[in-house]
Copies of this chain bind each other. A is one copy, B any other.
Amino acid sequence: MSDLLERLRGRGWRMTAQRRVVAEVLDGEHVHLTADEVHARAVAKLPEISRATVYNTLGELVSLGEVIEVTTDKRAKRYDPNAHRPHHHLVCARCGAIRDVHPRGNPLADLPDSERFGFTVSDVEVTYRGLCPNCMSA
């Protein structure tokens, strides 16, 4: 994760305790925290950090392309630090657990011109839904 911090500093990002803590919280595979969860974990490391700062920092990380916004559920946006490799998501319909997945093929190629309505299509987001092993046995 010091990679991320180094990269950010290299881009002229002013380094502060708050930003460092937020970046540290967002580390790992299959991490998809809501803004509030990020805030809660950040508070554990730096009690005086404010909600607004967490929102601001998350927004900046997204603009910089270091973190991806994921909207798998209707409630809160989630933040996915695994931005360096394209991937999609598999979500448990009952408990909400999320895994990163890498399907074969390119869904963009599956959209014929006749179905593009004149749009310039540049991106595709795929969300698989089902039941995780835990919820299946329960």
Contacts and interface: CB of A to CB of B under 8 A. Distances in A.
Instruction: Provide the main secondary structure of the chain A interface.
Output: mixed
Contact of A133 (B118, B127, B133): B118
A61 to B, nearest CB: 15
Interface string A75-107: 001000000000000101100000101111101
Given A105-B105, A115-B102, A127 B125 contact: yes
This chain: copies in complex: 2
A63 interface: no
Most B C-beta atoms less than 10 A away, residue of A74, A110, A116, A123:
A110
A120 interface: yes
A17 interface: no
A92 B104 contact: no
Interface of A: 69, 71, 73-74, 77, 90, 92-93, 99, 101-105, 107-108, 110-112, 115-133, 136
